[in-house]
């Protein structure tokens, strides 16, 4: 809980002034029954007449106006503080998520991260507003009402105190039973978000395989599970108001009975005091009802806070605090005894990987699906850390580099051609924020993307969400240009030409090969794309089972021969 105070530090003034103004409103509200009792006992029963009654009424009206102004000021302060708090937490959470490695992101999942950043922080934000607006007011009114009742008549005050304690116990029990269920509800929301995201991203696949009914059933199953849990929460929360009203109304009945007994015995209270005590009892009732209605909000906020804290507590398994500088006279990449397993898996994705690649070489990587090709190249820019062994880049282990400087050595083109909404220029800006238009044009030409970009409107051509206004091949060429514009020393193409025709694929590879001093790793399912590579690694089941040029491997490596022959037959 303490960790979140820092996000309110900027809004301390609003928090304190908002709470203070709410306290003034509550204090004025507590004085109203006393003024009313005085009007009745002095102005009506005591014979002071209409002027005294009018004076008391004017005083109550003035108190009401001041309370209304204080309530408006508190509302404004609470809105500023809570919105600022939510913004600060989201910013900090987003920054922290971006420090996590792929291992941690895989563990939590994208859908859950989105839900926690958006929905859970909103719950916490609402709780902050309610703390300033109502949590300060309601307990103050309840406690002071009990104290005033004890001062007026200690015996009746004890009845009021007992009713308040019983209601508080009811609230505590309900909250204790609700918190785990609200946590489960948030997990259900994660699941719904995941299914929704998968169906929106894969809408064409769902329709192509006529799986709409199946996906609808999957969504309905997750929604029904969340509904069942929400109904359990509702059944528990449904006890709040009936039990609260029952206890308070029973207390009112006891007060009337006991005060009537005392009046009958001649030791009773005045009429104004009895009315004041009943008014205070009603104020306690209203205050406790407010608290009971806040229980569900705070249980949700508590569950959300725990989920957000899980992300903040999650530390990256990759530490980028080294100080090494690249030695460009050393081999570009070396791997020695590298083994790797994904989080939560016992099976090794990579096993006993050893190789050395000189600067400027072109390396081809080929193999069946799941053979570890992408995993291998992901270890180079340290998107993952090797479980065992050493990954060296330009003479140093990748763990010895500052993470930012290591990543600047690489230009990575992932399998999924991801573009961001904006313009072509803003997407290329990711690769090099200091590049000129001439640099962008040169990178586009290397990726064979210059012509269609100019035809569509140039560097300021809009890019819609995920680049949907470009074809698959055009998106791949734009991601290649984005990597090339950074002038990397090592370029990784992870099956990034799969949507290109053979002629364009060959042209792009020729342009990349012409880049001076760039070491290139090409992961591809096409054997023809790797014919010109200086060395080809053939992978199977996480191991390199063959290495050499195309001429050396064909006929000596059975798997490579099989891949080449099957693709040749497919072309024919």
User: 36-40, 304-308, 325-329, 566-570: lowest mean pLDDT where?
Assistant: 566-570
Cα–Cα nearest to 34, from 276, 280, 279: 276
Whether 572 has a pLDDT exceeding 50, the answer reads no
Pick from 279, 313, 347: which residue ends a domain?
313
- Is residue 322 included in any domain, yes or no? no
* Residue entry with tokens 């990579």: 350
- Cα separation, 551 vs 540, whole angstroms: 20
pLDDT band at residue 92 using 50, 70 and 90 as cut-offs: very high
- Stated as kind and residue range, the H or E segment containing 453 is helix 450-456
Q: Say which residues have a Cβ less than 8 Å from residue 160's Cβ, sequence separation at least 6.
A: 145, 146, 149, 150, 251, 255, 277, 280, 281, 284
pLDDT band at residue 265 using 50, 70 and 90 as cut-offs: low
Highest mean pLDDT among 263-267, 270-274, 476-480: 476-480
370: left (phi over 0), alpha (psi -120 to 50) or beta: left
Percent of the chain residues topping a pLDDT of 90: 20
- b/e sequence 232-265, b meaning 16+ C-beta within 10 Å: ebeebbeebeebbeebbeebbebbeebbeebeee
* Same domain as 476, residue 443: yes
Whether 149 has a pLDDT exceeding 50, the answer reads yes
Cα–Cα nearest to 402, from 328, 323, 315, 488: 323
pLDDT of residue 320: 66
* 209 exposure class (CB count in 10 Å sphere: 0-12, 13-18, 19+): exposed
| Mean pLDDT for the stretch of residues 321-345 | 87
* Same domain as 291, residue 407: no
- Stated as kind and residue range, the H or E segment containing 553 is helix 550-553
pLDDT of residue 391: 93
* Same domain as 148, residue 179: yes
- b/e sequence 165-197, b meaning 16+ C-beta within 10 Å: ebbeebbeebbeebbebbbbbbbbbbbbbbbee
pLDDT band at residue 353 using 50, 70 and 90 as cut-offs: very high
* Same domain as 87, residue 150: yes
- Is residue 6 included in any domain, yes or no? yes
Whether 495 has a pLDDT exceeding 50, the answer reads yes
- Is residue 485 included in any domain, yes or no? yes
| Mean pLDDT for the stretch of residues 406-431 | 87
Enter the tokens of residue 489: 């020393």
* Same domain as 263, residue 370: no
Rounded to the nearest integer, the mean pLDDT of the chain is 84
pLDDT of residue 331: 92
Beta 422-423 vs 462-463: how paired, if at all? Answer: antiparallel
Residue 285 has, within 13 A of its CA and on its CB side, a CA count of 18
pLDDT band at residue 87 using 50, 70 and 90 as cut-offs: very high
| Mean pLDDT for the stretch of residues 165-181 | 78
pLDDT band at residue 337 using 50, 70 and 90 as cut-offs: very high
pLDDT of residue 522: 92
* Same domain as 280, residue 343: no
User: 53-57, 64-68, 166-170, 189-193: lowest mean pLDDT where?
Assistant: 189-193
Find the domain containing 291 and state its range. 2-313
Pick from 281, 313, 345: which residue ends a domain?
313
Whether 294 has a pLDDT exceeding 80, the answer reads no
Q: What is residue 321's DSSP assignment?
A: B
User: 10-24, 35-49, 59-73: lowest mean pLDDT where?
Assistant: 35-49
- Cα separation, 187 vs 205, whole angstroms: 26
* Same domain as 352, residue 217: no
pLDDT of residue 376: 93
- Is residue 404 included in any domain, yes or no? yes
Do residues 483 and 431 lie in contact, with contact meaning Cβ atoms separated by under 8 Å? yes
* Same domain as 341, residue 209: no
* Same domain as 256, residue 145: yes
Whether 201 has a pLDDT exceeding 70, the answer reads no
Do residues 116 and 311 lie in contact, with contact meaning Cβ atoms separated by under 8 Å? yes
* Same domain as 365, residue 256: no
pLDDT band at residue 40 using 50, 70 and 90 as cut-offs: confident
User: 83-87, 178-182, 251-255: lowest mean pLDDT where?
Assistant: 178-182
- b/e sequence 77-87, b meaning 16+ C-beta within 10 Å: bbebbbebbbe
- Cα separation, 273 vs 259, whole angstroms: 10
| Mean pLDDT for the stretch of residues 177-182 | 76
Q: Say which residues have a Cβ less than 8 Å from residue 395's Cβ, sequence separation at least 6.
A: 326, 327, 329, 330, 331
The count of structural domains within the chain is: 2
pLDDT of residue 379: 92
Residue 37: other Cβ atoms inside 10 A: 22
- Is residue 323 included in any domain, yes or no? no
- Is residue 467 included in any domain, yes or no? yes
* Same domain as 436, residue 559: yes
pLDDT of residue 489: 92
Q: What is residue 2's DSSP assignment?
A: G
pLDDT of residue 410: 92
pLDDT of residue 263: 65
pLDDT of residue 93: 92
pLDDT band at residue 393 using 50, 70 and 90 as cut-offs: very high
Cα–Cα nearest to 297, from 417, 152, 414, 129: 129
Task: Give the CATH number of the domain where residue 74 resides.
Answer: 1.20.1560.10
User: 383-392, 533-542, 560-569: lowest mean pLDDT where?
Assistant: 560-569
Task: Give the CATH number of the domain where residue 345 resides.
Answer: 3.40.50.300
* Same domain as 201, residue 293: yes
- Is residue 245 included in any domain, yes or no? yes
pLDDT of residue 321: 66
* Residue entry with tokens 């000021």: 73
* Residue entry with tokens 């006529």: 210
Enter the tokens of residue 41: 């006992």
- Is residue 562 included in any domain, yes or no? yes
Percent of the chain residues topping a pLDDT of 70: 95
Whether 571 has a pLDDT exceeding 50, the answer reads no
Enter the tokens of residue 568: 């040749």
pLDDT of residue 569: 62
């Amino acid at each position: 809980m303490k960790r979140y105070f820092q996000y309110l530090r900027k809004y301390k003034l609003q928090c304190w002034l908002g709470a203070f103004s709410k306290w003034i409103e509550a204090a004025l509200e507590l004085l109203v029954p006393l003024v009313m009792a005085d009007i009745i006992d002095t102005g009506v029963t005591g014979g002071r007449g209409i002027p005294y009654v009018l004076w008391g009424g004017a005083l109550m009206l003035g108190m009401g106006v001041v309370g209304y102004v204080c309530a408006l000021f508190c509302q404004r302060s609470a809105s500023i503080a809570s919105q600022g708090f939510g913004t600060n937490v989201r910013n900090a959470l987003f920054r922290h998520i971006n420090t996590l490695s792929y291992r941690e992101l895989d563990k939590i999942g994208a859908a859950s991260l989105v839900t926690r950043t958006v929905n859970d922080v909103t719950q916490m934000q609402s709780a902050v507003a309610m703390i300033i607006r109502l949590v300060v007011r309601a307990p103050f009114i309840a406690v002071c009402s009990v104290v005033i009742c004890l001062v007026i008549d200690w015996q009746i005050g004890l009845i009021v105190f007992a009713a308040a304690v019983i209601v508080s116990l009811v609230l505590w029990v309900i909250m204790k039973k609700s918190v785990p269920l609200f946590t489960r509800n948030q997990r259900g929301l994660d699941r719904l978000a995941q299914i929704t995201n998968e169906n929106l991203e894969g809408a064409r696949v769902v329709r192509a395989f006529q799986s709409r009914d199946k996906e609808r059933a999957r969504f309905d199953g997750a929604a029904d599970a969340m509904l069942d849990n929400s109904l359990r929460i509702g059944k528990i929360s449904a006890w709040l108001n009936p039990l609260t009203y029952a206890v308070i109304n029973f207390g009112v009945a006891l007060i009337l009975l006991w005060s009537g007994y005392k009046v009958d015995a001649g030791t009773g209270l005045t009429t104004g005091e009895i009315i004041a005590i009943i008014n205070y009892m009603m104020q306690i009732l209203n205050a406790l009802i407010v608290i009971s209605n806040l229980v569900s909000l705070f249980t949700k906020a508590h569950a959300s806070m725990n989920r957000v804290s899980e992300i903040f507590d999650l530390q990256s398994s990759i530490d980028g605090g080294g100080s090494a500088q690249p030695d460009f006279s050393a081999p570009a990449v070396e791997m020695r005894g590298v083994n790797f397993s994904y989080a939560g898996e016992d099976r090794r994705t990579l096993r006993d990987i050893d190789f050395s690649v000189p600067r400027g070489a072109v390396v081809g990587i080929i193999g069946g699906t799941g053979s570890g090709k992408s995993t291998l190249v992901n270890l180079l820019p340290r998107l993952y850390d090797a479980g065992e062994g050493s990954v060296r880049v330009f003479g140093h282990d990748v763990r010895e580099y500052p993470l930012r400087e290591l990543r600047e050595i690489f230009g990575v083109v992932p399998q999924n051609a991801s573009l961001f909404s904006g313009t072509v220029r803003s997407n290329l800006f990711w690769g090099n924020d200091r590049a000129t238009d001439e640099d962008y044009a040169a990178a586009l030409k290397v990726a064979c993307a210059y012509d269609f970009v100019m035809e569509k409107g140039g560097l300021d051509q809009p890019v819609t969400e995920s680049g949907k206004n470009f074809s698959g091949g055009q998106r791949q060429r734009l991601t290649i240009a984005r990597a090339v514009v950074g002038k990397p020393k090592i370029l990784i193409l992870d099956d990034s030409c799969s949507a290109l025709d053979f002629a364009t694929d060959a042209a792009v590879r020729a342009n990349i090969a012409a880049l001076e001093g760039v070491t290139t790793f090409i992961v591809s399912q096409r054997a023809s794309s790797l014919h010109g590579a200086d060395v080809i690694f053939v992978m199977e089941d996480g191991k390199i089972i063959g290495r050499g040029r195309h001429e050396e491997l064909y006929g000596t490596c059975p798997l490579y021969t099989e891949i080449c022959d099957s693709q040749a037959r497919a072309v024919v």
